[in-house]
Structure 1
Amino acid sequence: MSLKQWGAALLGCATLLLTACTVVDLDENGKPIMPADPNAKANFDNQTPQQIAQQTWQERVIDAAHKKALDATALSTQLKTPSPDAESVFVRLTSKVERVDLSNAREQKLIMTFNGQPLEVQTGPVIRGNAIRDATGFKFEDFTNQVQFAQLSRAYNREAVKNLPKIDESWTGKTATVLMAVTLNGGKAENAAALELKQEAQ
């Protein structure tokens, strides 16, 4: 092969390589911005539980709750055939507020009716349990730093309280809609934690 033919062959290869490449945007430092791998495990190694909660709140909690929330009928069905292990789910319930429990200023609750039984819905400022974290689908093995996973519940619970209206005795007797995370355990709904809460027009 002549030198000219070699040159043409090399040029053809170079053109082929260039057309096969994807154009990648550069950041302000001139470094390539690589698109996120949708199958990659979330990396929270250098983040605090509070940062993780704030970063994932909209997508993993609010958006997911609106898409996946069980209504009263679906929740009732699930409680009748309980899983052997406790599981947490998102629920949307519209019901009458039977009473408001303000006896503990740090752990205020709305007591609503579900299936003819009282259901305590935590509204803060302190919310207990892992219902919100576990309803997101996060698992222990998603975190290399297990302390983050353990503390993520409290961070999510604090995030929830930021978005809730203040409750008082005036809620009693009113119809309200609550979007919440609930832990289902042995056929009972436990540790209900409000995510969104509003009174319905009377």
Structure 2
Amino acid sequence: MKIDHVLKLSLIPLCCLALWGCDVVKLDQHGKPIIPMSAAEAASLKNMTPAALADKFWDHILSEAQKVSGAFGEQTMKEDSSRFVRIHGIVNSLDDSKKRATMTVTSAQHQVVLQIGPIIRGNSIRDAASFIQFDDFKNQVQFARLSKALNKKAMQHFVRPDASWVGHQVDILAAVTRKKAGITDVIPLEMTKR
């Protein structure tokens, strides 16, 4: 009995030593590991312009968005999170009287207000992409400017709707941010009118 107890106690330090060298891996919104960039990749980002970064990341963002997007539902999103979603619905209205034009879509009994530009604000695209991490950038300014560049890239990628879209069904791939007050930003990546 004593030998058994001594053997168990001697295994505890060995287990601790084995775990000491392990790294904790962050998980994305679906519980899958986020593979960090190598040090060389992160170093190369620090000297790139926001537009060049947006060009570099865009295909990866679209690929991830198409793979991980689920159906839109405000209740399915955690507070203070951004994610890629699919929105299927009917266009109720379009307001292009301002530079921050919007389009309202009814989807699953929710009113979703999308930013359609030419000015789009928010960090939804950047923050929904699991591979973009703040620590990989030179500073907060570069990280913030990346959001603006990604929003401009989105504007180039989708067909900008006009008044003829009102009343039609649409399929949208978007980046959405939810705060405590509810959905704050919806930025389309792709839009199709049916």
- State the aligned residue count: 155
1:125 aligns with 2:126: no
TM-score (structure 1 length as normaliser): 0.71
Please give the secondary structure, in 2, of the residue aligned with 1:181. Answer: strand
1:154 aligns with 2:148: yes
Cα deviation, residue 129, structure 1 = 0.6
- Aligned equivalents of 1:69 and 1:188: distance in 2? 19
4+ aligned runs moved over 4 Å, structure 1: none
Cα deviation, residue 125, structure 1 = 1.2
Check whether the contact 1:123–1:164 (CA below 8 A) recurs between aligned residues: no
Q: 1:168 aligns with which of 162, 170, 175?
A: 162
Gapped runs of 5+ residues in structure 1?
1-37
- Aligned equivalents of 2:74 and 2:111: distance in 1? 14
Cα deviation, residue 39, structure 1 = 5.3
Q: What does residue 100 of structure 1 align with?
A: 94
- Aligned equivalents of 1:123 and 1:39: distance in 2? 32
Q: What does residue 71 of structure 1 align with?
A: 71
The verdict on how the C-alpha distance between 1:39 and 1:149 changes in structure 2, with shifts beyond 3 A counting, is closer
RMSD: 1.7
Please give the secondary structure, in 1, of the residue aligned with 2:170. Answer: strand
- Aligned equivalents of 1:39 and 1:129: distance in 2? 24
Please give the secondary structure, in 2, of the residue aligned with 1:144. Answer: coil
Cα deviation, residue 160, structure 1 = 0.3
Percent sequence identity over aligned pairs: 33
Larger radius of gyration, structure 1 or 2? 1
TM-score (structure 2 length as normaliser): 0.74
Cα deviation, residue 144, structure 1 = 2.7
- Supply the AA of the counterpart residue of 2:169: T
